[in-house]
């Protein structure tokens, strides 16, 4: 009887180890999935921001003339470049 109890304890211990490993793998997969989703959303938002900056730059170029217009255009171009690098 005592040997059977020892075997049962060992079995339960192994089952718990397996469950913990499964939970760990599941958490790891979930983390990777969320990471990929966040990266994808970041790229989409970056594209939207870049498109918005392009439209704003085009609109300002036709509206604001002179040295100030050139400076604004330069700043927006730098912002677009920063988004590309991001």
pLDDT in tens, 56-83: 888 777 777 788 878 888 888 888 888 7
The domains of the chain are located at 2-85
Contacts for 2-11 with beta carbons within 8 Å, 24 or more apart? none
Give the span between the Cα atoms of 28 and 15, in whole angstroms: 20
Q: How many residues does the chain have?
A: 86
3-state class (DSSP) for residue 86: coil
Q: What is the pLDDT of residues 4-56, one digit of tens each?
A: 888 899 999 999 999 988 888 888 888 888 889 998 998 888 888 888 888 88
- Enter the pTM of the model: 0.54
């Amino acid at each position: 009887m005592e040997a059977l109890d020892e075997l049962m304890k060992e079995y339960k211990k192994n089952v718990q180890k397996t469950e913990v490993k499964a939970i760990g793998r599941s958490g790891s997969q979930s983390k990777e999935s969320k990471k990929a989703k966040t990266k994808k959303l970041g790229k989409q938002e970056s594209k939207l921001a870049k498109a918005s900056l392009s439209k704003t730059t085009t609109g300002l170029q036709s509206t604001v003339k002179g040295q100030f217009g050139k400076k604004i255009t330069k700043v927006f171009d730098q912002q677009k470049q920063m988004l590309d690098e991001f």
